[in-house]
Amino acid sequence: MLTLLNLLKDGRFHSGQDLGEALGISRSAVWKQLQHLEAELGLSIHKVRGRGYQLATPLMLLDPLGMAGMSPSWPVTVFDSIDSTNAQALRAIGQGQVAPFLVVAERQIAGRGRRGRKWVSPFAENLYYSLVLRIDGGMRQLEGLSLVVGLAVMQTLRKLGVADVGLKWPNDVLVDSKKIAGILLELVGDPADVCHVVLGIGINVNMQAADEVDQQWTSMRLESGKSFDRNALVVELSNQLQAYIQRHQVGGFSVLQAEWEENHLWQGRMVSLIAGVNQIDGVVLGIDNQGALRLKVNGMEKVFSGGELSLRLRDDS
């Protein structure tokens, strides 16, 4: 099926006879595979008598050869379809694969965001990216790491021409109030000794419609009016991640604290912090040198951190 997709990805018309000859199958078998492509991957294929078959939109598939400009030279595995890149990364750690390494996919059938939320993952439109790092020597290297990843994602999008992109504590990348990227870090091992961390990143790249998304969202294509080569995006993101992670390893999160606050879209805004059934209202003061949120609550500064916290703008903000 994917061999057929590679023949069609240029967006040009291909006759059923030519496709059948290339695949060594009958024209009726080609038609069945095309139907499967439409149903399984959600692709739209045009059929025109006398001309053949054409993808409604050309595809540029992920290809390790197209990522050759990635200066970190991390080993990359590309999956056509997978439950989630983070889940595959965790399996690879359990099987003894040596870090660092990178997992990317054309689509996820069980993509995950923070707090167990579904991450909508259509085929060959967005970037689903998980980088595995080995962490030696304790918790300091983990302090504020998700916020560091957010800075790398933000700078990647800006460099590729997406304007007005900024950050929302703790793990979202937004354009105005619309989500364009999210981050999910997962940890295995002993954080006080040797552990592995999976830096999971989802970026809306060329997606233009998604009925399943339950929040305001946007994509690189919607913001810029042009489509993007996701291989080039992998290269730029990896280069930015390497640079920011090195700064973090050398100086700790405190050396990046001011830069993160400068790019926090909700700095000084009135917010509600949700923790389970509890809600805390306050004004965002910033973050501390470990990446925890600083809020002014009833005239006093309070600090909050934790993976199950959610931040929302107040209606009167």
Which positions make up the binding site for biotin? 84-86, 108, 112-114, 179
Ramachandran angles phi, psi of 200, nearest 5°: -90, 125
Q: What is the three-class DSSP state of 254? A: helix
Q: Which residues are annotated as a binding site?
A: 84-86, 108, 112-114, 179
Alpha-carbon distance 186 to 198, whole Å? 5
Look at residues 292, 77, 305, 86 and name the one whose alpha carbon lies nearest to residue 184.
Answer: 86
Peptide bond into 100 cis (omega under 30): yes
User: Token pair of 144, please?
Assistant: 């504020």
DSSP H stretches of helix in the chain: 2-8, 16-23, 27-41, 85-94, 145-159, 220-224, 230-251, 257-262
- Catalytic residues, which ones? 114, 179, 312
Q: How far apart are the first and last CA of the chain?
A: 51
Residues 246, 257 contacting (CB under 8 angstroms): no
Q: List all residues 6 or more positions away from 218 whose beta carbon is below 8 Å from its beta carbon.
A: 175, 178, 179, 180, 204
DSSP of 156-180: HHHHTT-TTEEEETTTEEEETTEEE
- Sign for the CA dihedral angle at 257, 262, 264, 267 comes to positive
Nearest 10 degrees: CA dihedral of 242, 246, 249, 252? -100
Cα(292)–Cα(261) distance, integer angstroms: 12
Query: Can you state the angle between helices 145-159 and 230-251, rounded to 10 degrees?
Result: 140
